[in-house]
Amino acid sequence: MTEDESSGMFDVNSRFMKTTLVIVAVLLIFAGPTYVPFVLSSILSLNYVASVLVGLALLIVGLVLLWFLVRKKVIV
């Protein structure tokens, strides 16, 4: 095996990982700031501001993941 061959479970060029990362990014972007704060504040009785901050953090993580996928040309 040469150095430029990537092997293993986290190969970004495999179809499975491309699909999985895109789905995770979309879930983080859309469900992060909407459903997660609702669940945290209503069901788990967490402070509203803390739940919104957690949702904002998930949105930022999703956007960074999307930026990574666009930069690696997984999404064109």
At position 52, the amino acid (one-letter code) is V
Is 57 within a domain?
A: yes
What local confidence, expressed as pLDDT, does residue 61 receive? Answer: 96
Is 52 within a domain?
A: yes
Is 13 within a domain?
A: no
What local confidence, expressed as pLDDT, does residue 12 receive? Answer: 75
Is 76 within a domain?
A: yes
Find out whether 55 and 39 touch, Cβ atoms under 8 Å.
Answer: no
- Please count the structural domains in the chain: 1
Is 61 within a domain?
A: yes
pLDDT, tens digit (0-9, with 9 covering 90-100), for 18-33: 899 999 999 999 998 9
What local confidence, expressed as pLDDT, does residue 6 receive? Answer: 53
Is 73 within a domain?
A: yes
Between CA 3 and CA 60 the distance in angstroms is: 33
Is 35 within a domain?
A: no
Q: Note down the domain range covering 66.
A: 45-76
pLDDT in tens, the chain (76 residues): 444 555 566 777 788 988 999 999 999 999 989 999 999 999 989 999 999 999 999 999 999 999 999 998 888 7
Is 10 within a domain?
A: no
